[in-house]
């Protein structure tokens, strides 16, 4: 058979493509469950971390997460942490290079932040990417939420006036965080979401199945 002929070429390409794609789907199939599990754990761990619950190992995360009421479809969560009710909600929006995705937790009266956690972002590593660093996230713990929203601005931190420290050299990311957080707070305050969160909290109180 002529190696440079059309028929041989087509058959060759077909066999090679088939073989490699087949091997890839095998590998993918073999690890798909693990990948899904990793994503689920990362998500649960982020919700807990936003709510201020400490859990590091996979078992701890599973155990603690089982204690909070969740509506996965809406991305809403309610938990009783240290005797008070805490709500958490998915937050997302656009950053500088791509989407920012995470969770925001607030007290039941939606007057104070409990914490934030970032699950995924595409910000510049070392600049905008520093929104993942503890000092940035810790600023939100017990920060009062002003009526007109918080302000994220580098070098002007003033918790009294609802200004948290932003990131020098990453103004776009700081602004993005500000608008994502403020938008999520507004969503928290919308009647439907509040009602759903109160339902979740009621499930917690009654100890009913979640």
Partner 1 sequence: MSDVDTRPGAILKNNLWTSNPIFMQVLGICSALAVTNLLTNTAIMTIGVTFVTGFSNLTVSLLKKFMPRKVRMMVQTLIIAFYVIIVDIVLKAYLPEISRNLGPYVGLIITNCIIMGRAEAFAQSNDPIPSLWDGVTSGLGYMGVLMVIAVFRELLGFGTLFGFQILPDAFVPWTIMVMPPSAFFLLGIIIWVGKAAMNREGAPA
Which residues form the interface with partner 1 (CB under 8 A)?
Answer: 3-4, 8-9, 12-13, 16-17, 20, 23-24, 27-28, 31, 34-35, 38-39, 42, 120, 122, 124-127, 168-169
Distance set, CA 192 to CA 90, 91, 199 (Å) = 15, 17, 11
Indicate the residue among 42 and 205 with the shorter CB distance to partner 1.
42
Q: Least distance to partner 1 from the beta carbon of 95, Å? A: 13
Does residue 81 come out as left (phi exceeding 0), alpha (psi in the -120 to 50 range) or beta?
beta
Q: Are residues 69 and 79 in contact, defined by beta-carbon separation less than 8 angstroms?
A: yes
Q: In degrees rounded to 5, what are phi and psi of residue 55?
A: -155, 120
Q: In degrees rounded to 5, what are phi and psi of residue 95?
A: -100, -150
Indicate the residue among 107 and 124 with the shorter CB distance to partner 1.
124
The first and second tokens of residue 115, run together, are 């914490």
* Residue 209, CB-side half-sphere exposure with 13 Å CA sphere: 0
Q: Least distance to partner 1 from the beta carbon of 28, Å? A: 6
Q: Least distance to partner 1 from the beta carbon of 32, Å? A: 8
Indicate the residue among 86 and 118 with the shorter CB distance to partner 1.
118
Indicate the residue among 92 and 124 with the shorter CB distance to partner 1.
124
Q: Least distance to partner 1 from the beta carbon of 70, Å? A: 21
């Amino acid at each position: 058979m002529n190696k440079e002929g059309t028929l041989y070429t087509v058959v060759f390409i077909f066999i090679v493509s088939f073989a490699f794609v087949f091997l890839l789907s095998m590998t993918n199939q073999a690890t798909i469950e693990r990948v899904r599990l990793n994503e689920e754990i990362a998500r649960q761990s982020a919700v807990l971390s936003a709510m201020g619950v400490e859990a590091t190992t996979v078992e701890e995360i599973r155990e603690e997460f089982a204690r909070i009421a969740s509506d996965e479809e809406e991305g809403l969560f309610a938990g009783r942490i240290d005797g008070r009710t805490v709500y958490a909600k998915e937050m997302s929006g656009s950053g500088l290079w791509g989407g920012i995705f995470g969770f925001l937790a607030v007290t039941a009266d939606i007057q104070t932040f409990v914490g934030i956690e970032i699950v995924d972002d595409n910000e510049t590593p070392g600049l905008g990417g520093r929104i993942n660093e503890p000092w940035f996230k810790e600023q939100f713990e017990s920060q009062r939420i002003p009526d007109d929203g918080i302000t994220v601005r580098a070098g002007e931190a003033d918790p009294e006036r609802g200004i948290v420290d932003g990131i020098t050299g990453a103004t776009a990311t700081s602004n993005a965080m500000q608008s994502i957080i403020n938008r999520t707070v507004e969503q928290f305050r919308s009647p439907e979401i509040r009602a759903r969160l109160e339902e979740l909290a009621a499930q917690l109180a009654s100890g009913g199945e979640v």
